């Protein structure tokens, strides 16, 4: 009986290593509170995000953390976070199976699917369902605010994307921002065949 060919090794998608000190790019957090000043009502509103992922560069996050650890002023005014929603919830709002298929294959430029996080790759040991990132939905928080939320366990640090999945997300987010709207798109007009000589 012929032996079966060995299956190719699967690269890990998530990790919890390196989470604990400075925030890391592509780190997933849960229960983040975003204060929003309403200019019309002159009141502070509170929005809670069930999940979000950090896309600020690792080097910037590290330098900011090192400065704050020394008691100096941080080097970042804000941290960039993209909202994440459970894929099952997003699916109910998407019309058409073709659109949804493109989204979950990461072939739709606006959305990015994150595979479910297993419990052993979640710092809370609960696991996370598959998440969808909408590149139109992002916000920022001051580093001291986000650190305070995690320190008091208001928000929770959960997991982080490994390479190359981290870079893949970063590139797709950057591509979405670099889109250029053309006043008139290029059009192809088929050439008219030359008449046969008489």
What pLDDT is recorded for position 4? 58
pLDDT surpasses 70 at 2:
no
- HEC-encoded secondary structure of 34-90: EEEEECCCCEEEEEEEEEEEECCCHHHHHHHHHHHHCCCCCCCCCEEEEEEEEHHHH
pLDDT surpasses 90 at 30:
yes
Domain ranges across the chain? 14-177
What fold is seen in the domain 14-177?
SH3 type barrels. (2.30.30)
- The number of beta carbons lying within 10 Å of the beta carbon of residue 26 is 23
Note the pLDDT tens digit of each residue in 112-121: 999 999 999 9
* Residue whose token pair is 């294959």: 105
> Which pTM value belongs to this model?
0.86
What pLDDT is recorded for position 137? 96
State the average pLDDT over residues 86-91.
95
pLDDT surpasses 70 at 1:
no
Under 8 Å between Cβ of 161 and 95: no
């Amino acid at each position: 009986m012929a032996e079966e060919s060995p299956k190719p090794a699967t690269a890990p998608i998530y990790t919890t290593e390196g989470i604990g000190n400075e925030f890391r790019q592509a780190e997933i957090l849960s229960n983040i509170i975003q204060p929003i000043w309403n200019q019309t009502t002159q009141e502070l509103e509170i929005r809670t995000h069930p999940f979000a992922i950090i896309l600020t560069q690792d080097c910037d996050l590290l330098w900011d953390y090192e400065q704050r650890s020394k008691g100096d002023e941080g080097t970042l005014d804000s941290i960039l976070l993209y909202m994440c929603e459970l894929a099952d919830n997003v699916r109910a709002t998407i019309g058409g199976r073709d659109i949804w298929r493109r989204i979950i294959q990461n072939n739709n430029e606006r959305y990015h699917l994150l595979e479910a996080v297993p419990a052993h790759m979640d710092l809370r040991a609960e696991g996370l369902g598959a998440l969808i990132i909408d590149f139109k939905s992002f916000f920022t928080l001051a580093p001291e605010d986000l650190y305070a939320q995690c320190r008091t366990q208001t928000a929770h640090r959960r997991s982080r994307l490994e390479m190359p999945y981290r870079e893949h997300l970063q590139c797709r987010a950057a591509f979405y921002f670099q889109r250029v709207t053309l006043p008139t798109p290029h059009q192809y007009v088929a050439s008219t065949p030359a008449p046969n000589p008489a």
